[in-house]
Amino acid sequence: MTPEAAPRGLWVTFEGGDGAGKTTQAALLEEWVSDQGRTVVRTREPGGTEVGVLIRDIVLHHRGDIAPRAEALLYAADRAHHVATLVRPALERGDVVIQDRYLDSSVAYQGAGRVLDAAQVRDLSLWATEGALPDVTVLLDLDPASARARLDADDKPFDRLESEKAEFHERVREAFLALARAEPDRFVVLDASLPADELAAAVRERVAAVLA
């Protein structure tokens, strides 16, 4: 009797501006996938590893300026270590990786937000990760004014990126939408102003199709 093949790993990333609800939706998806009997690895960038926690503190909480290219390199360094030591091993085991942010955030924030060359930023991350790309990327799209209102309601100190001006966040949003248009097979774009349960149902529908 031939043993059953182990299920293939699946990699789902959540993208969008600050305040779009990525953490909430990642948690809801984790619960649903676990209920399907699959092992889930929930992670984030930056900060998904011990090394990443140190880099996260620098890029999000460092007092003072960081040169845009240095910022992009720090994110790429976190990403290289994260994929090599956590994401790729989990996928090889057949686990489902649910991740808050990946290289699309660098293209949007450091490429468009910091006005660097978006293609170079993307290529840097692809080199760092040996070309690793998610199976599904959920883009939670929300206009920056609504996102800022959500962040204000949280009553938490803003990090370096959250503190940027509205023009910065508009560029980030447009960059995310452009990325989604360029890769429609990987991206699913959802209106993040919808109720959380409606968004979760839409995410489950897309992920279930891939799991099947």
For 111-164, how does the pLDDT look when each residue is reduced to its tens digit (9 = 90+)? Answer: 999 999 999 999 999 999 999 999 999 999 999 889 888 877 777 777 677 777
* Percent of all residues in the chain with a pLDDT value above 70, rounded to a whole number: 97
- Report the topology of domain 10-211: Rossmann fold (3.40.50)
62 compared with 4, residue with greater pLDDT:
62
Q: What is the mean pLDDT of residues 34-59?
A: 96
pLDDT of 61 reads: 87
pTM of the entire predicted model: 0.92
Residue 3 has pLDDT above 70, yes or no: no
Domain boundaries, the chain: 10-211
pLDDT of 159 reads: 66
pLDDT of 184 reads: 97
Residue 79 has pLDDT above 80, yes or no: yes
How far, CA to CA in Å, does 161 sit from each of 65, 78, 119, 139, 145?
11, 17, 21, 18, 15
pLDDT of 150 reads: 84
